[in-house]
Structure 1
Amino acid sequence: MLAPTLKLRPVIRQVQGEMPQTLTRILDDGVNLAVWQRHLPLHIADFASLLLSLNEPLAESLVLEMPGEDAEPNLCGLASGFSDLEGYEGFLTDVSWLVSAFACLLGAKRIGLRLRALDKAMCPRFHVDHVPVRLISTYAGIGSEWLKEGVMDRRQLSQAESEPTNNALIQQIGNGNVALLKGEKWHGNEGFGLIHRSPQLAPGERRLILTLDWLS
């Protein structure tokens, strides 16, 4: 009689690279973060910085239907209050490309989009997301912070006194980078969603952040 074969859980790891193909690594077992370390085109970076400098509120959400591989997201009205700023069309084109790439990679038919200008940490404690996967890109300002596996006891998430105080242990997603974060609802990743948090902002500091969620 043959002994039963035990399926070993892969080592939890994170992948970063300068090519957009790096994002496909989120599909690999054991990878709970894939980061495309891109440099924003200057006209898009300038648009994002100018938008924040106006100190106007921005908190918009869309549910995008993507019925087929060739479907283009309907971003009509997104950040329309800033449509007169130079670089707006380029910004929309970039967001559209990210949505289409996200849908193609995951086979997503419905995507939740959020675009926000923040002046404080939205999720200040280290936590995991209870979603399959989330895309995060900070167009202006500082990016989200995350931890490698084993740095913090998962049983103590959201407890301030248990968070690492050594800054050398805290990783950060760069400005303009595109990150895919695997959450607790990704099949096979239960208990290993990426541990991350919003960065603390100094008085007067702001960030422009885009998130995409796989709804179906």
Structure 2
Amino acid sequence: MSLLQDLAEQEGKQERAAEPVIFCHSLEALIEAGLGDVAELALWPRQPSPGLAAAFEALDCSSFEDLRVTGRPEDVRQRAVTWLTQSSWPALVWQTLLGDVQAAFACIGDIEADCTFRLEYVTDDACRKFHKDDTDFRLITTYLGRGTQWRVERAGEEPGPLHEMKPHETAMLLGQRCSLENCVLHRSPPIEGSGQARLVLVLDFERPDYC
């Protein structure tokens, strides 16, 4: 039984909206949550090996130019794969990124959607205000530095506790939805002026009439 089938048997769609955050055991379950509007935020709390973490921490990004590719999912996948396989980064680094990208597109399958792939080296606050994206759904992983911050904000209530993703954890962030509470907001961690940096991979998917 899939994650979506299991949740559908337990509760209706309106009730699911009352559970804005879920934890997943795999990338496949994470993406199912995005495709099925199961939660506003789904988290896959994976951890890197010490060797993998060290490889990213030692990465020289001084000459790296942010990569952005937009198009149909298969076209974006091919261009991202080409860039990664031609990268001068250490094999452990680019092979890890390549594996994650390939796995994500394999789980997405042949859905009708527009896709945007971004690989960014961030040294400022980027999106400093808590917000919800005007998008269908987003997959995001921070491989180096501090991860995305998020909290639950409901009308008439004090904001919930601040959470921060750890390196290599992956999240599915649901964009604005007409039928959901839209209470899980996120932002980039404030690092500007601290000397810290982040390497962030983002995959955005836009299906027709997603709201």
When normalised by structure 1's length, the TM-score is: 0.72
In structure 2, what is the equivalent of residue 207 of structure 1?
A: 198
- Candidates 98, 113, 116, aligned match of 1:92: 98
In structure 1, what is the equivalent of residue 162 of structure 2?
A: 170
In structure 1, what is the equivalent of residue 179 of structure 2?
A: 188
TM superposition shift of 1:55? 3.0
Report whether the alignment pairs 1:142 with 2:150.
no
Percent pairwise identity: 24
Answer 1 or 2: which has greater helix percent.
Answer: 2
Kindly provide the amino acid, as one letter, of the partner of residue 143 in structure 2. Y
- SS of 2:91's partner is coil
Provide, for residues 71-106 of structure 1, a one-character-per-residue CA deviation record: whole Å limited to 9, x for no partner.
Answer: 9633212495x42423223432222222332x23x8
Distance 2:121 2:64 in 1: 7
Distance 2:74 2:27 in 1: 23
Kindly provide the amino acid, as one letter, of the partner of residue 31 in structure 1. A
TM alignment of 1:154-165, pairs within 5 A? none
State the superposition RMSD in angstroms: 3.3
- Candidates 194, 197, 204, aligned match of 2:187: 197
Unaligned runs of 5+ in 1: 1-6, 155-162
In structure 1, what is the equivalent of residue 7 of structure 2?
A: none
Provide, for residues 115-168 of structure 1, a one-character-per-residue CA deviation record: whole Å limited to 9, x for no partner.
Answer: 001011100111111111111110111101111242x769xxxxxxxx96xxx8
> Contact 1:108–1:214 at 8 Å: present in 2 too?
no
TM superposition shift of 1:108? 4.5
Distance 1:175 1:148 in 2: 21
Distance 1:100 1:21 in 2: 9
TM alignment of 1:14-163, pairs within 5 A? 14-23=21-30, 24-27=32-35, 29=37, 31-41=39-49, 44-51=52-59, 53-66=60-73, 73-75=78-80, 76-78=82-84, 80=86, 82-87=87-92, 88-101=94-107, 103-104=108-109, 107-150=111-154
> Contact 1:44–1:91 at 8 Å: present in 2 too?
no
> Contact 1:43–1:90 at 8 Å: present in 2 too?
no
Distance 1:49 1:92 in 2: 18
Distance 2:203 2:65 in 1: 16
In structure 1, what is the equivalent of residue 8 of structure 2?
A: none
TM superposition shift of 1:181? 0.4
Question: Could you say which structure has the larger radius of gyration?
Answer: 1
Unaligned runs of 5+ in 2: 1-12
Distance 1:204 1:8 in 2: 44
> Contact 1:140–1:207 at 8 Å: present in 2 too?
yes
TM superposition shift of 1:109? 4.1
Decide which moves more: 57-66 or 171-180.
Answer: 57-66
